[in-house]
Amino acid sequence: MEIRRIKIHNFRNFEDVELGLENKNILFGLNDIGKTNFLYAIRFIFDKECRRRGLNESDFYQKKTDREIDITVELDISDTNDNDNKKIRRRMQGAIASGYDTVFIQLRAKYLEESITVVPELYWGSDLLYLEPVPSIQANFEIDKIFNVIYIDSSVQLNNVFKNYTREIFKRESSMTQSERDNVKKIIDKLNVNISNMGSIKSLENTIRDEYFKYRNEKGFKITICSEVELENVASKLMPYINYEAGNTYPTSGDGRRKLLAYTLLSLENRKFEDTRINIFLIEELENHLHRSMQLAVSKQLFTDTIFKYMFLTTHSPLIVSSMDEVNLIKIYKTNKTDGKSVHYKVPKEYQKVKTQLNQNLAEAIYANYVLLVEGPSEKILFDTVMSFKCPDYELKGGYILVVNGINFKEYRKILDKLNVVTMIKTDNDLKYNKKKKNYNHLGLNRGLSTIGEAEVENVSYTGIKFDKDKKSIQLMIFDVNYKDKVDLLLQQKIYLSRVDLENDLYEAIPAKMDSFIKTKDTSKNAVDYLQDKKMIHMIELCNDIKAPAVINKIVNHKLFVCIKELCDLCCQ
């Protein structure tokens, strides 16, 4: 089975939205944007417990009860060898027309004014225009014999999960041998007698009797308090403890460990359904109370364990998605109404070794509305300093500066663009000399061209120019003359190429300030060379010295720093 698409109409904060889906889906978005409502749309289709609780007036978009709620999920069942597809075909039978490999499951809900009730109805079939009612007996639909929904909210309680799990175990005849059952019953009977004969219990009996006699003195009246511990409720008295190698036993009192154990039990409990039904996990913000190491462990489990084959996950943590691959990213956002974008995400082969870094960076950026991608920490330090003066709360207003640390801009740009995030790039005009062929690779320019899908320029030989001595003059020639049209093309696509590099750009913007700065240092180097030596440390020194508004404005308004001006304008508009 492959989950392909969902369409939500007139449900809660979704007026009309259609999104591509896959078997593993990760939902991003700001708080209160509708991620939980999105999960509930899926629950009303597949989760009988959610359906039984019903819908009401507030489930209609802006309470527009004159319109139907319509939630439709599209599934691909073309793989005839897939066991999950066999389960669907067996139950749907005649609802699937011959030769069709796609099926639709739809919930429609009408508001009945006369009875002030909402009547949900389920339909399925292979032709969206001619769906059949899902067979049902009272509130039990045939679809509930196919799917098993496991909804895990962020406040999941270990005690409840553990009690449910153990209660199911003790219902089975095989939970105890007859010998164990007889032995436990004898112990329980003896325990009940001992509790009932305790002095405090007898005293309580007499106290209650004496107080009763104040209302009515009855001859021969007595009160007896009995203990009623039973074999059938033993499961409710069980509690998981943790035993470490040192031999000490601890109750699982830490919130993080309790949650992790709850997740363990939920996955364990639902493995029994894998052969008979299709498990769909809906998980909300499971990072709450989990330490960094636990989040990483959970991430690995979620994206490698086959029990989570079908999953919808909401999260605010980049660590939770650190192991993601072959997933569908869904961003829920709001303009004039709640909307969403989705995109398939697969870690490129060349980045498998740095998958965690790529995924975590992406997860941080995906929440923003405007992202400026920069090469390294020096750029971020400088631009953060500028933004702290021009727009101090820029991150609260949807801005973000992301350091890619050598990972190709292209991967970030491709994903962020499809998720409706405005993306800008600031990159150096790097140049690499090929000693063997005696020509130059225009790395920086080609980096930008590759990002927007344009053909890269070929290597060029510059006769009579020595790389170490005249590298800067070549870079200026690339920017100002030879490839000015390419530079302008990148500019139109919000890719801002340096004339040379960040440090030289900065010297063009604030030469006097940088000259005065270098005079305070005990060095024979000029300001640009000083910044390029120990880049991050020296950039911090400079940024501590450029806090005058006039200096900041010169940087923002300079033609080589359009990227930071645009970020300011977007965040402060």
**Rounded-to-integer distance, Cα 393 and Cα 73, Å:** 40
Name every residue whose Cβ is closer than 8 Å to that of residue 286 and which is 6 or more positions away in sequence.
Answer: 152, 154, 259, 263, 298, 313, 315, 320
**Cβ pair 8, 41 in contact under 8 A:** yes
Name every residue whose Cβ is closer than 8 Å to that of residue 445 and which is 6 or more positions away in sequence.
Answer: 429, 456, 457, 478, 483, 486, 487, 490, 497
Judgement on whether residues 399 and 519 belong to the same structural domain of the protein: yes
Give the domain extent around 414. 368-572
Q: Which of 224, 258, 292 is at the close of a domain? A: 258
- What residue has token string 């929904």? 149
| Residue 192 DSSP label | H
Q: Are strands 117-125 and 102-112 parallel, antiparallel or unpaired?
A: antiparallel
542 located within any domain: yes
Judgement on whether residues 324 and 379 belong to the same structural domain of the protein: no
Q: Tally the domains of the chain.
A: 3
Mean pLDDT, the chain, integer: 90
Which pLDDT does position 354 carry in this prediction? 87
Give the ranges where 47-157 is alpha helix by DSSP (H). Answer: 48-53, 83-92
152 located within any domain: no
345 located within any domain: no
Q: Which of 306, 322, 309 is nearest to 358 (CA)?
A: 322
111 located within any domain: yes
Judgement on whether residues 169 and 141 belong to the same structural domain of the protein: no
16 located within any domain: yes
Judgement on whether residues 307 and 243 belong to the same structural domain of the protein: no
Judgement on whether residues 301 and 433 belong to the same structural domain of the protein: no
Judgement on whether residues 205 and 133 belong to the same structural domain of the protein: no
Q: What is the pLDDT along the chain (573 residues), one digit of tens a residue?
A: 999 999 999 999 999 999 999 999 999 998 889 999 999 999 999 999 999 888 999 999 999 999 999 999 999 999 999 999 999 999 998 899 988 999 999 999 999 988 888 988 999 999 999 999 999 988 789 999 999 999 998 887 767 777 777 777 677 767 778 888 889 889 989 998 999 999 999 999 899 888 888 888 888 788 888 888 887 777 677 777 666 555 555 555 567 777 778 888 888 889 989 999 999 999 999 898 888 988 999 999 999 999 999 999 999 999 999 999 999 999 999 888 899 999 999 998 888 988 998 899 999 899 999 999 999 999 999 999 999 999 999 999 999 999 998 767 998 999 999 999 999 999 999 998 888 888 889 999 999 999 999 999 999 887 666 656 678 888 998 999 999 999 999 999 999 999 999 999 999 999 999 999 998 886 788 999 999 998 999 999 999 999 899 999 999 999 999 999 999 999 988
267 located within any domain: no
Judgement on whether residues 413 and 553 belong to the same structural domain of the protein: yes
Judgement on whether residues 21 and 116 belong to the same structural domain of the protein: yes
106 located within any domain: yes
250 located within any domain: yes
| Residue 103 DSSP label | E
Q: Which of 27, 21, 30, 18 is nearest to 3 (CA)?
A: 21
Which pLDDT does position 434 carry in this prediction? 84
Judgement on whether residues 241 and 286 belong to the same structural domain of the protein: no
Q: Which of 320, 340, 360 is at the close of a domain? A: 340
**Cβ pair 133, 123 in contact under 8 A:** yes
Judgement on whether residues 142 and 187 belong to the same structural domain of the protein: no
Judgement on whether residues 402 and 465 belong to the same structural domain of the protein: yes
Angle between helices 484-492 and 443-451 (to 10 degrees): 40
Angle between helices 355-365 and 409-418 (to 10 degrees): 40
- Which helix H or strand E contains 288, and what residues bound it? none
Judgement on whether residues 81 and 182 belong to the same structural domain of the protein: no
Which pLDDT does position 200 carry in this prediction? 93
